[in-house]
């Protein structure tokens, strides 16, 4: 969101987040050489790194802003209502 590219391990939520935002590079977790190579890649091509950071900031604003979150919640709730709500038939509130 700050427009700064990241270097993150290829595990957990990082592959999904970087796949969505294209905001950085992944490295093999627990591999110091892979981390160093990814950091060097960022340092060797600052124009590309800046573009990654800017693209990530745009993607975060587009995908995770308040209006985007509200729209996603609205779609989810519409889907729940369209499918009859809770399957048990009991009130859950």
User: Over the stretch 11-63, which tens digit does the pLDDT of each residue have?
Assistant: 999 999 999 899 999 999 999 999 999 999 999 999 999 999 999 999 988 88
**Calpha distance 93→87 (Å, rounded):** 14
Q: Classify 48 in phi/psi space as left (phi over 0), alpha (psi -120 to 50) or beta.
A: alpha
**Calpha distance 21→38 (Å, rounded):** 17
Q: Which residue bears the tokens 């209502």?
A: 81
């Amino acid at each position: 969101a700050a427009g700064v590219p990241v270097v993150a391990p290829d595990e957990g939520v990082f592959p999904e987040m970087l796949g969505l935002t294209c905001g950085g590079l992944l490295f093999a977790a627990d591999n110091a050489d892979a981390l160093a190579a990814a950091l060097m890649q960022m340092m060797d091509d600052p124009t590309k790194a800046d573009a990654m950071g800017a693209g990530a900031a745009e993607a975060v604003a587009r995908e995770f802003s308040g209006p985007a979150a509200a729209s996603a919640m609205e779609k989810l709730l519409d889907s729940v209502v369209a499918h009859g709500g809770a399957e048990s038939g009991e009130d859950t509130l």
